[in-house]
Amino acid sequence: MRFLRFAFLALPALALTACDKGAPPAPEPSQAALDAPLAIPVMGPERPILAFGDSLLAGYGLKDGESYPARLEKALRARGVNARIANAGVSGDTTAAGLERLDFTLKSQTDKPELAVISLGGNDMLRGLPPGQTRKNLDAILKKLTDQHIKVVLLGMLAAPNLGKDYADKFNPIYPQLAQKYGAVLVPFFLQPVIDKPDLMQPDHVHPTAIGVDAIVSATVDDVANALPKEKMP
């Protein structure tokens, strides 16, 4: 199976701590639970969102319900947003493959998405494909979505260090420049919350674990929530 296959340098893992205050016969809630915000009742009309991309959205190596789109939907609903996220992630997809299937994917949706969350380009980079090709394909994808009045959250990727400075200088600016061109919300580096944190990554050192996905969701859920268009007045 084709999927992202590069390793990043490992640094000390993120320490996850919880402070439990046990008291027989039953332990009291942990301090983390006490500090967690209360869930807001889901309100308003359903907000259809399309998650479109590669294995980082498809949920490679994870169980059902552990993928980024699934956990993002849960996080949005905890904030009172009546989100329904369709997961159109395909492991191994390049920007060219994504562009090729975009029209079919949009036509296959029960309801037109209000927002598209895009994660593509990592496989282009790992294969050493020309950054100009990646830019052209992503530009076409964002144009199609913008022309259909679908707002976009663009999940950015950075070139692996071993590809060299020249490649990085051409690849890394693609995401911020296209986000600015099309008025998309940019997440500069989608994997930032888990990179260099081995405990949050699967053994391939590329795909996040379920806990890693939750870390990414925590870092990006506000970006997605704020990108949703304002609901129309009745």
Q: Which residues are catalytic?
A: 55, 204, 207
- What SS3 state is found at 5? coil
> Hunting for tokens 């380009």 — which residue is that?
121
CA distances for 148 relative to 51, 116, 142, 182, 234, angstroms: 16, 11, 10, 12, 22
Beta sheet of 79-89, edge-to-edge order: 79-89, 40-53, 115-119, 151-155, 185-187
CA distances for 81 relative to 20, 48, 52, 195, 223, angstroms: 31, 11, 20, 29, 13
Q: Determine how many CB atoms are found less than 10 A away from the CB of residue 49.
A: 27
Q: Which regions of the chain does DSSP assign to beta strands (E)? A: 40-53, 79-89, 115-119, 151-155, 185-187
List the structure tokens of 104: 């079919």
- What SS3 state is found at 135? helix
